[in-house]
């Protein structure tokens, strides 16, 4: 497979915090020229069979996908998994445990918001959660926009849902080691998602990439909807330095909220190994 492939290996459906069904995402991806697609819902692979069938119906190649939340150096980091067996028992069970704490965390977020006069946020957010096990900050953001507290979701995150803000509750997710292990033992490749987003110091970032590799991680997102062109150049260098393959994905959530649509990203830089070269046997 050539590097100039329109691969989009990161997006979300109603199974986590996206607003479109797996089928609607598949047709949108196809219409935008995507040739290889993966649906990567947060901590949940319940949409994989539908996404795979929809990709097939659209005549598009498909890789199974997931985006696992982990805690590293006190921050939440996302590890994307691609090309695994979505019926693997250890993976299914590990993700179930990771999801377990979300409802409790959501209630604490709601209590925090009530203290600044925003009431009923738990019930309000729950209405937006297609999957109640996957209630996330995104669903709270939609509720706060709906009720006119903020004008858009990025304002909600800035004022209410990030570190030290009233609705922010940190969560202990899976460990880096377990996330990489679940993915690789199910036959897939683990990928560090949108590395520019974490705000790590140089030392913390070096530790993340080193430990990720030691546990068997093999790729990093270089081209993503959350990277500027400077970020992409920087992480292209990191990929070469750590001998990691490179991935490409929009992180599309919703036509109304996402600035990068499916399949509309810059190409992967030519000197990098595309992650799909490691996954030729897993492509459906
Ligand atoms: P959670 O898993 O509940 O911590 O929610 C994380 C989700 O919130 C991410 O997957 C994004 O979809 C969304 N998110 C995080 N930061 C922002 C932001 N600054 N603006 C909009 N959405 C964000
Ligand atoms: Mn999300
Ligand atoms: Mn993410
Ligand atoms: Mn994502």
Work out the percent of the chain whose per-residue pLDDT is above 70.
99
| Domain match, 202 and 274 both | yes
Q: Is the pLDDT of residue 2 over 80?
A: no
User: Residues 111-139: what's their mean pLDDT?
Assistant: 97
Sign of the dihedral defined by the CA atoms of residues 282, 32, 49, 179, in that order: positive
Look over the chain and give the mean of its residue pLDDT values, rounded to a whole number: 97
In a domain, 216, yes or no: yes
Question: What's residue 197's pLDDT?
Answer: 97
* CB of 40 shorter than 6 A to ligand 1: no
User: Residues 172-189: what's their mean pLDDT?
Assistant: 97
Enter the tokens of residue 181.
């292990």
- Given strand 189-192, what is the order of strands in its sheet? 65-72, 75-82, 189-192, 219-224, 245-249
| Domain match, 204 and 262 both | yes
Rounded CA-CA distance 284/282 in Å is: 6
* CB of 98 shorter than 6 A to ligand 1: no
Give the chain's radius of gyration (CA, Å).
18
> The domain that contains 77 carries what CATH number?
3.20.20.140
Question: What's residue 172's pLDDT?
Answer: 84
| Domain match, 76 and 114 both | no
In a domain, 284, yes or no: no
| Domain match, 216 and 268 both | yes
**Could you identify the atom of ligand 1 that is nearest to the CA of residue 153?**
21
Q: Is the pLDDT of residue 1 over 80?
A: no
| Domain match, 192 and 240 both | yes
User: Residues 207-235: what's their mean pLDDT?
Assistant: 98
From the number of C-beta atoms within 10 Å of its C-beta (0-12, 13-18, 19+), residue 210 rates as exposed
* CB of 136 shorter than 6 A to ligand 1: yes
In a domain, 2, yes or no: no
Domain that holds residue 185: 7-98+172-278
Question: What's residue 3's pLDDT?
Answer: 61
Residue nearest to atom 21 of ligand 1 (CA): 154
pTM reported for the whole predicted model: 0.96
User: Residues 95-108: what's their mean pLDDT?
Assistant: 94
What would the pLDDT profile of 32-81 be if each residue is shown by its tens digit?
999 999 999 999 999 999 999 999 999 999 999 999 999 999 999 999 99
| Domain match, 142 and 205 both | no
For a pocket test of ligand 1, which of 79, 98, 136, 143 has the largest count of ligand atoms closer than 8 A to its C-beta?
136
User: Residues 178-201: what's their mean pLDDT?
Assistant: 98
In a domain, 165, yes or no: no
Question: What's residue 254's pLDDT?
Answer: 97
**Other Cβ atoms within 10 Å of 146 Cβ, number:** 12
Residue nearest to atom 12 of ligand 1 (CA): 138
- Residue 82 Cα to ligand 2 middle (Å): 17
**Could you identify the atom of ligand 1 that is nearest to the CA of residue 197?**
16
Looking at the structure of the chain, the number of domains it has is 2
Question: What's residue 102's pLDDT?
Answer: 94
Question: What's residue 4's pLDDT?
Answer: 83
| Domain match, 233 and 252 both | yes
Q: Give the list of residues 6+ apart from residue 80 with CB closer than 8 angstroms, or none.
A: 9, 10, 40, 65, 66, 67, 68, 190, 191, 192, 193, 221, 247, 249
**Could you identify the atom of ligand 1 that is nearest to the CA of residue 69?**
2
pLDDT tier at 161, thresholds 50, 70, 90: very high
pLDDT tier at 9, thresholds 50, 70, 90: very high
| Domain match, 82 and 211 both | yes
Question: What's residue 55's pLDDT?
Answer: 98
Residue nearest to atom 20 of ligand 1 (CA): 154
User: Residues 241-250: what's their mean pLDDT?
Assistant: 98
């Amino acid at each position: 497979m050539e590097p100039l492939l329109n691969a989009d290996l990161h997006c979300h459906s109603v199974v986590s915090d996206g607003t479109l069904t797996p089928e609607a995402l598949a047709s949108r991806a196809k219409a935008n020229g995507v040739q290889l697609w993966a649906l990567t819902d947060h901590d949940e692979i319940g949409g994989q069979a539908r996404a795979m069938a929809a990709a097939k119906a659209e005549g598009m190649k498909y890789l199974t996908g997931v985006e696992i939340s982990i805690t590293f150096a006190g921050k939440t980091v996302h590890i994307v998994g691609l090309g695994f067996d979505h019926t693997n028992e250890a993976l299914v069970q590990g993700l179930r445990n990771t999801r377990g704490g979300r409802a409790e965390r959501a209630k604490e977020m709601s209590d925090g918001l009530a203290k600044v006069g925003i009431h009923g946020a738990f019930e309000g957010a729950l209405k937006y959660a297609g999957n109640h096990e996957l209630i996330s900050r995104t669903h709270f953001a939609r509720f706060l926009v709906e009720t006119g507290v903020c004008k858009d979701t990025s304002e909600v995150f800035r004022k209410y849902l990030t570190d030290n803000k009233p609705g922010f509750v940190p969560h202990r997710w899976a460990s880096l080691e377990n996330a990489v292990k679940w993915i690789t033992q199910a036959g897939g490749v683990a990928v560090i998602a949108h590395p520019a987003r974490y705000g790590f110091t140089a030392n913390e970032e070096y530790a993340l990439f080193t430990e990720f590799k030691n546990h068997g991680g093999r790729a990093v997102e270089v081209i993503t909807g959350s990277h500027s062109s400077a970020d992409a150049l920087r992480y292209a260098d990191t990929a070469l330095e750590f001998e990691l393959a490179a991935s490409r994905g929009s992180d599309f959530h919703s036509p109304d909220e996402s600035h990068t649509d499916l399949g509309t990203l810059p190409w992967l830089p030519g000197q990098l190994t595309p992650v799909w070269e490691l996954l030729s046997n897993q492509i459906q």
